[in-house]
Amino acid sequence: MKHKSRIRTGFSEFSKKLYINTKNKILNELNANEKDWNNPKWQLKNRISDVDEIAKYTHLTDEEYENIKNVSEKYRFAITPYYFSLIDFDNPNCPIRLQSIPSIKEMNENGELDPMNEEQSNPSGKITRRYPNKLIINVTNACPVYCRHCQRRRLIGNADKNTSKNDIDESIDFIKNHQAIREVLVTGGDALLLSNSRLEYIFNELSEIDHVEVIRVGTRTLVTLPFRIDDELASLLRRYKVQLSTHFNHACEITPEAVRAIDTLVDHGILVRNQMVLLHNINDDKYCIQKTNEELHRHRVIPYYLFHPKDVKSTEHFQVDISKGLEIMKHLEGRTSGMCKPTYVYNSPGGLGKVPLVPMENIEYDENGYKLTTWENKTVKKSYHNPND
Ligand code: SF4
């Protein structure tokens, strides 16, 4: 309980004040109103993407100013006014700040541009295929916010660009011709930056392929641009029975606006799962992971994966050791509902697929059977069972 109150959520009084203050400053500066603010197109058009814009809303030291300027010349940034308004600039380790504002640590270029070898697993169009029965179509490189830890940083480039119709059609043809494909993830970038009509075209084509049983969409708009989610979009997803994967990393991202977006989706019957990334200084704290997943569960989002961070170039400062993730998973046992426990996975380099990481100290065995350790460190025994006996 003590730790629970320590971790800020988007509903805490502090977060709400922070949000209102910065939001009002931005609206005044841009001579805009509440209706503009709630309009996703206005949010995208007014993304903060220049250090001088940041400096309009908060004091930056000369060093901070120079660092952001230098890094952003190499790796661009863009932040929706909404997400920017969640930043606590008085806290150098604010999770929103670390995920969205360029850091001088990005100049450390250790790591790989494409650790998952996605470029080499592209058989056609804009497909990435790492498994026999499921694949990804990358429909855009654009996102509302360019997360500093992104595994696809290499695709961000200098401009936002949606995948051409030609490449989409080629990808769909590939799926048509490969009967093993039962699940298609439409992602990017952020797939929900496509217009509804473009999304409908893709969903409609995929739904006409008999062997495609599941269509999923990868999006972070619930976190970075919740105004994109409305009844019209939710009805479209519902029509094609699309399932959704999103990416909350910290409880302070779970705001009233984000929950309105979640409610709109879930009330339309859309299954929403969360894929969190374990990130140093952002959420590598067992209580933070517990609280964030409990908040998601409370708001009807399924905590699905906890990804170990990938060795992406310029993101070494977000890396943690696997032992930290195992410690967190061990902590969750018995202390939270099984529904709040994601699967902790390591994505093998070179596109070799996911490896589930499970704390192993709970199970030992000898000639008599298994010795199992409960979450309270009590020991129980379970003998071997031979079904032929
Ligand atoms: S929303 Fe996803 S794809 Fe886009 S920058 Fe963030 S992590 Fe990368």
> Tell me, what's the pLDDT at 133?
96
The percent of residues in the chain predicted with pLDDT above 70, rounded, is 100
What letter does residue 48 receive in the DSSP assignment? B
Distance linking the first and last C-alpha atoms of the chain = 49
Q: Give, using CA atoms, the residue closest to atom 6 of ligand 1.
A: 147
H-assigned helices in the chain: 2-6, 13-29, 34-37, 40-45, 51-57, 62-74, 81-84, 95-100, 153-156, 165-176, 196-207, 221-224, 231-239, 256-267, 286-298, 322-332
- Asked if 332 contacts 370 with a C-beta cutoff of 8 angstroms, the reply is no
| Per-residue CA distances from 376 to 294, 325, 334, 343, 372 (Å) | 21, 19, 8, 21, 11
pLDDT at 268 over 70: yes
Q: What residue type is 183 in one-letter code?
A: E
Q: Which of 156-160, 321-325, 379-383 has the lowest mean pLDDT?
A: 156-160
- Asked if 314 contacts 108 with a C-beta cutoff of 8 angstroms, the reply is yes
pLDDT at 352 over 90: no
User: Is the CB of 147 inside a 6 Å radius of any atom of ligand 1?
Assistant: yes
| Per-residue CA distances from 148 to 186, 214, 252, 365 (Å) | 22, 30, 17, 44
| CA of 150 relative to ligand 1 center, distance in Å | 5
Average pLDDT, integer, range 151-164: 87
User: Is the CB of 88 inside a 6 Å radius of any atom of ligand 1?
Assistant: no
CA separation for the pair 181, 132 (Å, rounded): 7
pLDDT at 58 over 90: yes
Closest CA to 324 of 354, 355, 288: 288
> Tell me, what's the pLDDT at 376?
87
Q: What residue type is 200 in one-letter code?
A: E
Q: Which of 13-17, 139-143, 288-292, 376-380 has the lowest mean pLDDT?
A: 376-380
Over residues 270-297, the pLDDT tens digits come to 999 999 999 999 999 999 999 999 999 9
Q: Give, using CA atoms, the residue closest to atom 7 of ligand 1.
A: 150
| CA of 20 relative to ligand 1 center, distance in Å | 25
| Per-residue CA distances from 233 to 192, 198, 228 (Å) | 9, 12, 8
> Tell me, what's the pLDDT at 389?
59
Single pTM value for the model: 0.95
| Domains assigned to the chain | 1-360 (3.20.20.70)
CB count, 10 Å around CB of 346?
Answer: 16
Over residues 6-30, the pLDDT tens digits come to 899 999 999 999 999 999 999 999 9
